[in-house]
Amino acid sequence: MIPRVLRSGSALRVSATLYLQDYGWLSQNRLVYNSKSMVREMTASDQLFPPEESIFLKYASFLAESRLLDIGVGGGRTTRHLLSRCRSYQAIDYAPAMIKACKAKFASRPEVFKVADARDLSRERVAGYDFVMFSWNGLDYVNHHDRLRVLREIHRVLRPGGLFFFSTHSLHAFPFPEAEVQARNKHVDLDLLERRGWAQLIGYNAALLTYYIYPAVQKKQIENSGYEIVEVLDMKGVDFSFDKPTTDYMIHFLCRRNQ
């Protein structure tokens, strides 16, 4: 059973307390990403973030020779920028409504889109990709256990020396400056947050439960999953400083799979 989602205008809302106690992340977040309003929003977006522009330009020659897997493609925001820039392109999303929208949006190339869950990439060939990306914080919409599982699955399908590019919500953006948003997070155990360096928060979209993590903790998480850090960028596309971290809500990591 999935918790009832209530509409208020175009906004999706859910009881966070009920959700946290009785339901898994994946069911609720997938429900939101399958909604008509979210599909409309995401298919209307084509613009890259500055860190993405920087990485795609800097690694253009690497991309040109790459078999690329675009995880959590959503409405195809990144597809327009990557489809013709890599040797082969495969895009997946766990939301069937998003894949349907992508096939309509890129009607000449529907074969590059398919429904798949990043927690289980067993249908993908071992070391079958040179470049894997999980953009727009898509990794943050599964729970902690599944997050580590996703990192292992990506490691399995990425060839040794291949690149993994993703973004994640930074815990340096918490507490939220807006009182209304901060009030949604009374469930958060602040002592536990500080001890483990990540938390399950309800951010600016009240319908989604989102994983936030300190970038320094994310670095260790990545390294413990079999990758080395290549670059870490803030929202301006500038090198992120671990000594003097910004309060940007999103940080981009480029990683290399260890041999």
**Domains parsed from the chain with CATH numbers:** 6-118+125-257 (3.40.50.150)
Mean pLDDT of 116-128: 97
Name the burial class of residue 79, with classes exposed (0-12), middle (13-18) and buried (19+) by CB atoms within 10 angstroms of its CB. buried
For residues 158 and 164, the answer to whether their CB atoms sit within 8 Å is: yes
Q: Is the pLDDT of residue 22 over 60?
A: no
Q: Which helix (H) or strand (E) holds 98?
A: helix 96-105
Q: Is the pLDDT of residue 118 over 50?
A: yes
Query: Sign of dihedral through CA atoms 34, 35, 36, 42?
Result: negative
Statement: the pTM of the whole predicted model exceeds 0.75: yes
Residue 32 is predicted with a pLDDT of 94
Lowest mean pLDDT among 3-7, 51-55, 216-220: 3-7
**Nearest Cα residue to 133 out of 110, 163, 153:** 163
Rounded distance between C-alpha atoms, residue 215 and residue 171, angstroms: 8
Q: Is the pLDDT of residue 13 over 50?
A: no
Rounded distance between C-alpha atoms, residue 38 and residue 118, angstroms: 20
Which residue has better confidence, 43 or 20? 43
C-alpha separations of 95 from 75, 109, 122, 196 in Å: 10, 19, 18, 30
> Could you give the 3-state DSSP secondary structure of residue 149?
helix
Rounded distance between C-alpha atoms, residue 175 and residue 28, angstroms: 24
Q: Which helix (H) or strand (E) holds 6?
A: strand 6-8
* Residue 7 pLDDT grade (very low, low, confident, very high; cuts 50, 70, 90): very low
Q: Which helix (H) or strand (E) holds 194?
A: helix 190-196
Q: How far does Cα 57 stand from its chain's mean position? A: 21
**Nearest Cα residue to 124 out of 102, 101, 152:** 152
**Nearest Cα residue to 56 out of 77, 87, 89, 78:** 78
Q: Which residues of 140-173 are buried (b: 16+ CB within 10 A; e: fewer)?
A: bbbeeebbeebbebbbbbbbeebbbbbbbbbbbb
Provide the percentage of residues in the chain whose pLDDT is more than 70. Answer: 90
Mean pLDDT of 161-179: 97
